[in-house]
A and B are shown apart, each in its own frame.
Chain A
Amino acid sequence: MLKFDHVSKIYKGGKRAVDDLNLEIAKGEFICFIGPSGCGKTTTMKMINRLIEPTNGSIYINGENIMEKDPVQLRRKIGYVIQQIGLFPHMTIQENISLVLKLLKWPEEKRHARARELLTLVDMTPDYLEKYPHELSGGQQQRIGVLRALAADQPLILMDEPFGALDPITRDSLQEEFKKLQKKLDKTIVFVTHDMDEAIKLADRIVIMRDGQLVQCDSPDEILRNPANEFVEEFIGKDRLLQARPNIQTVEQIMNPKPITITGERTLSEAIQLMKQQRVDTLLVVDEAGVLQGFIDVEIIDQKRKKENLVKDVVETTIFTVEKDTLVRDTVRKILKRGMKYVPVVDQRHHLVGIVTRASLVDIVYDSIWGEDEVTNIG
Chain B
Amino acid sequence: MDTVLQFFSTNGDEMLYKTWEHLYISLIAAILGILIAVPLGIALTRFPKGAGFVMGVLGVIQTFPSFAILAFFIPLLGVGKTPAIIALFFYSVLPILRNTYTGVSGIQKSLIESGRGMGMTGWERIRYVEVPLAIPVIMAGIRLSIVYLIGWATLASFIGGGGLGDYIFSGLNLYQPEFIIAGAVPVTVLALLTDLLLGKVEGWVTPKGMKKMREAA
Contacts and interface: CB of A to CB of B under 8 A. Distances in A.
A74 B120 CA distance: 11
Contact of A90 (B116, B117, B209): B209
A77 B120 CA distance: 12
Interface residues of A, number: 31
Nearest to A49: B117
Interface stretch (B22-30, B43-51, B124-132): B124-132
Nearest to A145: B114
Interface stretch (B105-113, B155-163, B167-175): B105-113
A129 to B, nearest CB: 13
A340 interface: no
Interface of B: 108, 110-111, 113-114, 116-121, 124, 128-129, 132-133, 207-210, 212-213, 216
**B113, B118, B132 interface centre (most CB from chain A within 10 Å):** B118
Contact of A135 (B132, B210, B212): B212
A75 B118 contact: yes
Interface stretch (A80-88, A111-119, A178-186, A243-251): A80-88
Contacts of B212: 132, 134-135
A103 B120 contact: yes
Nearest to A79: B118
Given A132-B212, A134-B209, A89 B133 contact: yes
B213 A132 contact: yes
Nearest to B132: A90
A100 interface: yes
B129 A88 contact: yes
Contacts of A51: 113, 116-117
A72 B210 contact: no
Contact of A80 (B114, B209, B210): B114
29 contacts: A49-B117, A51-B117, A73-B119, A75-B116, A75-B119, A76-B119, A77-B119, A80-B114, A82-B110, A82-B117, A87-B114, A88-B111, A88-B129, A88-B133, A89-B133, A90-B132, A90-B207, A90-B208, A90-B210, A91-B207, A91-B209, A100-B118, A100-B119, A103-B124, A132-B209, A132-B213, A135-B212, A148-B118, A158-B117
**B111, B119, B129, B208 interface centre (most CB from chain A within 10 Å):** B119
A2 interface: no
A338 to B, nearest CB: 32
B110 A84 contact: yes
Nearest to B117: A80
Interface string A133-171: 111000000000000110000000010000000000000
A296 B186 CA distance: 84
A92 interface: yes
Interface string A57-81: 0000000000000001111111010
A99 interface: yes
Contact of B118 (A89, A103, A135): A103
A158 B113 CA distance: 13
Contacts of B133: 88-90
A74 B119 contact: yes
B207 A86 contact: no
B119 A86 contact: no
Contacts of A49: 117
A82 B116 CA distance: 12
A85 B113 CA distance: 10
A72 B120 CA distance: 6
- Identify the 8 closest CB pairs spanning chains A and B, nearest first: A86-B114, A75-B119, A76-B119, A90-B207, A84-B110, A80-B117, A132-B209, A86-B110
A92 to B, nearest CB: 7
A286 to B, nearest CB: 49
**A74, A88, A133 interface centre (most CB from chain B within 10 Å):** A88
Contacts of A133: 209
Given A85-B110, A86-B110, A90-B209, A134 B117 contact: no
A371 B121 CA distance: 61
Contact of A72 (B121, B129, B207): B121
Contacts of A92: 209
Contacts of A76: 118-119
Contacts of A87: 114
A133 B120 CA distance: 20
